[in-house]
Amino acid sequence: MQYEIRYTRDDMPEGYIGRAVKYARDEQEAIKCFCGSKPDKLGYFRMKRGGRGKLESIKELKDND
Strand, coil or helix: what is 2? strand
Name, in order, each residue with C-beta under 8 angstroms of 12's C-beta and a sequence gap of 6 or more. Answer: 18
42 residue type, one letter: L
pTM summary value? 0.83
Domain locations in the chain as residue ranges:
2-61
pLDDT tens over the chain, length 65 residues: 899 999 999 989 999 999 999 999 999 999 988 887 788 999 999 887 888 899 999 999 987 64
Eight-state DSSP code of residue 6: E
How many Å apart are CA 35 and CA 58, to the nearest integer?
A: 12
